[in-house]
Amino acid sequence: MNLWFVLATAGLITFATRLSFIAMSGRYRPPSWFVAILPYVPIAALTALIAPDLLLVAGQLSLGLDNPRFWAGLVAIAVAVWRRNILLTIGCGFAVLWGMQWLV
């Protein structure tokens, strides 16, 4: 019974967080500085989300050959700059990751 309380409450809080600004839109005009930074939200949030995956190994900064995810990520960034092709980016990233896991 306690578990169902946790699920219901956690679900409601998650939903309320996602609804927050969407529900307010149209009723309230946000200040202009707020509107001006909104286009940067995807860059800031999504980069912060994945950077630790690429740069940390067991909580420590690791940019050596023992961290294939860093090199695979670098190659994926280069491929994404070169061609705007999602599947090509994923494919090249996995090729580097699996190649290094196999070799190193």
Which residues in this chain contact other proteins in the complex, by CB under 8 A?
A: 2-11, 13-15, 17-26, 30, 33-56, 59, 61, 69, 72-73, 76-77, 80-81, 84-87, 89-90, 93-94, 97-98, 101
CB of 58 to other proteins, least distance (A): 11
CA angle, residues 97, 84, 68, in degrees to nearest 5: 15
Question: What's the closest the beta carbon of residue 16 comes to other proteins, in angstroms?
Answer: 9
Are residues 28 and 22 in contact, defined by beta-carbon separation less than 8 angstroms? no
**Whole-number Å distance between alpha carbons of 32 and 29:** 9
Instruction: Indicate the Cα dihedral angle 57, 59, 62, 66, nearest 10°.
Output: -20
Smallest distance, Å, CB 71 to other proteins?
A: 12
CB-nearer residue toward other proteins: 17 or 64 = 17
Kindly tell me which of 65 and 85 has the beta carbon lying closer to other proteins.
85
Nearer to other proteins by C-beta: 6 or 103? 6
Under 8 Å between Cβ of 65 and 96: no
